[in-house]
Structure 1
Amino acid sequence: MQNKLKNLAYYGGKPSVEKSSFIPWPAPNTNHLNALQRVLDSGKFHRVNHPLIEELEARSREYCGTQYSRAVSSGSAALHVATNYFAGKGNSAIVCALNWPGAIAAIAHCGLDPIFVDTAEDGCIDEASAISHMDKENVSLVQITHLFGNCASRNKLRSYARAENIAIIDDCAQAANVPRYLQHTLHLESDAYILSGNGAKHLASGELGLLSTNSIGLIEHVDNVSLSSSSRKGERIFSPSSLGYNYRPNVFSASIAIDRFSEIDEQIKIRRENAQYLVTHLEKLPGINRLFGMDYESSGFCSVPMRINFKALGLPETAEVRNRIVELLAAENVPVTVWLTRPVWEYIPIWKNKYDLDNYPNTKAILNSMFCISEIAPPNGISQLHAVVQAFEKVWEAINIFGIELFDTERGNCEI
């Protein structure tokens, strides 16, 4: 038994995964150097009407299937502008309790009261719970966040919101493929699709945001609140009474994002193949399950979220046990992380300690049991992921042998 434990890299053994085997996303290449060169050749490094900005917005409109698109400085900025536009319809916004702080910060900035609802089993907003609040409170909007690339279609929720004149904002920062899927496959509506160019996302290009919509009013609002002056139509227009958030897009990032759009379908295809390989093999191990159903046609897989089934492993149902498992895997050089450790309101100062996590049982369970496997984007493929599966098998063998004792043992102390 002692030798089995010493095989783990956490206790000094050889890691299962070569540290240099994965190319970390955003996987820069010579195409991106060419993209930067296009900006240099233009002689202009700024302007919202820069030809590269206009080309990017055209790509976004085409990809999302909308009439209009605007590039801004980040996905968070796009969320802020859209939320600001729809905030006047009421005084509250419906959001999922399992969320990223940047996604809901816009609600606080716009003076709206959040209505947190629990997550469904797939890690996205619970449809029935969200609908139950729509006719009881003065709701401006519902934010549907597509976590990890999981497509949250939520047909009934969208229909109900339409009937109640409640705006729908789709946060697609981790799911760039969702607008295309909703528009072209399910024919579902949204008032705003938000995409992100952050380095960890599908459109990884630095810092950039895109807002795509069919609302000309929202587009005019983007220009009004995000700039103190605009030259989008070729004529410099000053708006001294605007909010002037200065959410100008970065031209260098925009040029890289244009290249990302040209290859995004292939990128997501490879992400799906890699995710399917991982899930298929890892679910053969006892006590490990996928977070959501993983429809391989609609999911974009920004990462692969998995959950620990503590009972199947005979282990206590605590975040500390999950964290130790992640430490064991990370020592094997598996690209694994714990995404969030607290409910989202705990990251927003004005909401901290105002809500009880026990009222959101699914969110609580996921926060305690979930971890994410990253680096599933190209050029990484099955050969690298095979080593990841082997690392999981090695760690799971140790869990099977030592059980709870493994989690009471300090690093280097193998005397069990």
Structure 2
Amino acid sequence: MKKKALSRRKFITGVAGASLATAAGPLQVLGSVTILNRRQGKLALLGGEPVRRAGPIGPPWPYVDDHLVDTVVKTTKSRIWSRVQAANGTVPSFEKEFAALIGTGYCVATGSGTQALSTCVEALGIGPGDEVITSPYTDMGTISSILTSRALPVMVDVDPDSYQLDPDEVEKRINSNTRAIMPVHIFGVAADMEHIMAIARKHGLKVIEDACQSHLARYQGKGLGTIGDLGCFSFQASKPVACGEGGAVVGNDQALMDECYTVQNHGTSRKGSNETIGPKYRMNEFEGAVLMGQFPGIRERFRIRNENANYLRDKLKDLPGLVPQKHYPGTESGAYYHFGMTYHKDHFNGAARSLFLKAVAAEGVSLGSYIRTGLHREPWIDHILGLESYQKMYTAARLKEYKEGMHLPNCDRISDETMVSFWGSGTLLAGKDEMDNIVNAIMKVYENRNALIKNP
């Protein structure tokens, strides 16, 4: 059943802080926020005054301050530029600090989040002939980490409102070759880990959490990345904690974490023994220095993002047609790498998502559709199915079944029609006035949806 249409007056009453200050024409005050008079609220796309001037919302990113710069300079002058030069260098120090920060026993730093995931797959002994169930709605690094060990990434459909792995679909795809589940905490908000862990226990499977977007986020009393057997983080430049590239594996099983260290250290253990197969995935000391330089403010920036995200979720909760990302019971906080919303065009008189995004952008607020297409529709699938190695490792019947299993309608609809988001690492550090601007830009387009359809 469709939600009852919402008036701008009812929607905006109670929003704190001034916004729409640059709008032309008569103004009126509702609650404590100044808003456009309805009659003067012509869409900027159609020649009206925008809610705000175009430009980024939030501080410049990645985060830089004098303390961070001093940490990098200190590392430069030390001439200790590789972690193997010193047991107490910036990378080993970062590993201890990051493990404590998210509440796990151990951490092994890597050169990227993809490398962290790849390290986990290899350390768990997953390889040719094995299968790992994961999400199609993610970065290619998730899939690449499985392919690197020549295992088969089995993608299953996602929940249309949370954009996370659907546990019911996961269980349907388990077979005798399945070794692990790799849930992706998309946008830094928890997947349905209670159900995923129950399925893993039932079938004797390992769980590798792709928490690459999920720094400090918590679920049912635990940090994301600490719930499964292993968890992985990314510190790529756009992430809430960033060093350009960089990644980390975390876990509580010391023996397994030592194996992760050996794998990412080209197969060489902490004792210096060359023991196994492994690439060279070591984080360098400069990346460690950039990360260590951010520690004084990491928790505070996390707090501000959550405060602003909760503010937006509250203000948007009753808006027909644009619904914030669903959170599962037990979700305590999010990293909010992106702030995701589901667009329902029927509440906007049938306006396509692209037209809605164009109209909001004209108001000075940039939203996007995030991933262009689910990974189940990308050419890498035909590539691996044509490789002699995969044809040897998997039966022709299994590969045919695998190809036929790429019908994932929820993921298709999310990527093609309904996903609307904005990048959160920097944007959600802005003041409440900018949060009000986001709300008002969206609401202005909603109020003028008839004009939008008539004059696209």
TM range (shorter): 0.7 to 0.9
Letter aligned with residue 314 of structure 2 = T
Distance 1:358 1:115, change over 3 A: closer
With 331-340 and 279-288 compared, the bigger mean Cα shift is at 279-288
What does 1:214-253 correspond to in 2, within 5 Å? 214-228=252-266, 237=272, 239=274, 243-253=277-287
Mapping of 1:21-32 within 5 angstroms?
22-32=58-68
1:365 has 2:430 as partner? no
Q: Find the counterpart in structure 2 of residue 103 from structure 1.
A: 142
User: 1:55-74 CA distances to partner (integer Å, 9 max, x unpaired)?
Assistant: 11101221333332100100
Aligned in 2, Cα 1:254/1:13: closer, same or farther, shift over 3 Å? farther
1:122 aligns to 2:162 (yes or no): yes
> What secondary structure is seen at the aligned counterpart in 1 of 2:340?
strand
Show the counterpart of 1:396. Answer: 446
User: Take 2:269 and 2:147, find their aligned partners in 1: how far apart are those partners?
Assistant: 30
C-alpha spacing 1:341/1:185, structure 2 compared with 1 (3 Å): closer
Give the aligned residue type for 1:366: I
Deviation at 1:21, TM superposition (A): 5.2
**Contact 1:64–1:183 (CA<8 Å) still a contact in 2?**
no
Q: What are the Cα deviations for residues 204-237 of structure 1, in whole angstroms up to 9, with x where unaligned? A: 121110101123443333333323486956xxx3
Specify the alignment match of 2:288 in structure 1: 254
Amino acid at match of 1:362: N
Partner of 1:414: none
Q: CA deviation at 1:196?
A: 1.1
Are 2:209 and 1:170 equivalent residues in the alignment?
A: yes
Is 1:156 matched with 2:195?
yes
Structure 1 residue 165: deviation in Å? 2.5
CA RMSD of aligned residues (A): 3.2
1:336 aligns with 2:367: yes
Separation of aligned partners in 2, 1:186 and 1:17: 36
TM-superposition CA deviations, 1:246-272 (whole Å, max 9, x none): 212032221222244443332222111
Any idea what SS the aligned residue of 2:337 has?
A: coil
Identity of aligned residues (%): 24
Q: Could you list the per-position Cα deviations for residues 278-313 of structure 1 after superposition, in whole angstroms to 9, with x for gaps in the alignment? A: 222234433211121377723222221011111222
Which residue of 85, 88, 98 corresponds with 1:60?
98
1:51 alignment partner in structure 2: 89
Paired positions, count: 394
The 3-state SS of whatever aligns with 2:173 is helix
Q: Structure 2 CA distance, aligned partners of 1:22 and 1:30?
A: 19
In 2, Cα distance between the equivalents of 1:294 and 1:274? 19
Moved more, 355-364 or 150-159: 355-364
TM-score for the superposition, normalised by structure 1: 0.83
2:113 pairs with one of 72, 75, 85 = 75
Conserved in 2, the CA contact under 8 Å of 1:309 and 1:369? Answer: yes
User: In the alignment, residue 28 of structure 1 is paired with which amino acid?
Assistant: V
- Preserved contact between residue 190 and residue 327 of structure 2 (Cα < 8 Å): no
SS at match of 1:248: coil
Alignment of 1:400-411 (within 5 A): 400-403=450-453, 405-406=454-455, 409=456
**Corresponding residue number in structure 1 for 2:151:** 112
Counterpart secondary structure, 2:448:
helix
Q: Tell me what 1:198 maps to.
A: 236
**Residues 340-390 of structure 1: per-residue CA shift (max 9 Å, x gap):** 121113345135797569832322222221111224646412111212222
Tell me the equivalent position of 1:36: 72
CA distance in 2 between counterparts of 1:193 and 1:187 reads 4
Q: Distance in 2 between matches of 1:291 and 1:375?
A: 13
Q: Is contact 1:86-1:141 (8 Å) kept?
A: no
Shift, 1:17, TM fit: 2.2
Q: Which deviates more from structure 2 when the two are superposed, residues 245-254 or residues 142-151? A: 245-254
Give the secondary structure class of the aligned counterpart of 2:207.
strand
State the match for 2:249 in structure 1.
211
User: Measured at CA, do residues 117 and 211 of structure 1 come closer, stay the same or move farther in structure 2, by a change above 3 Å?
Assistant: same
Contact in 2 for aligned 1:182/1:188 (Cα 8 Å): no
Change (3 A) 1:251 1:330: farther
> Secondary structure of 1:359's partner?
coil
Q: 1:46, CA displacement in angstroms? A: 2.0
Normalised TM-score (structure 2)? 0.77
1:36-92: CA deviation from partner (whole Å, max 9, x where unpaired): 123124232222445111111101221333332100100110001111222438611
Q: CA deviation at 1:148?
A: 0.6
Of stretches 74-83 and 266-275 in structure 1, the one that deviates more from structure 2 is: 266-275
CA shift for structure 1 position 198: 1.0
Separation in 1, partners of 2:333, 2:44: 37
Per the alignment, do residues 217 and 37 of structure 1 end up closer, same or farther by CA in structure 2, a change over 3 Å counting?
same
Partner of 2:376: 345
Task: Give the superposition deviation at 1:315.
Answer: 0.4
1:218–1:242 Cα change, 3 Å: same
Please give the alpha-carbon distance, in whole angstroms, between the structure 1 residues aligned to 2:255 and 2:132: 20
Q: Where do 5+ consecutive residues of structure 1 fail to align? A: 410-416
Distance in 2, Cα, partners of 1:173 & 1:324 = 31
Note the residue ranges of structure 2 that are not aligned, 5 or more in a row.
1-24, 26-38, 386-401
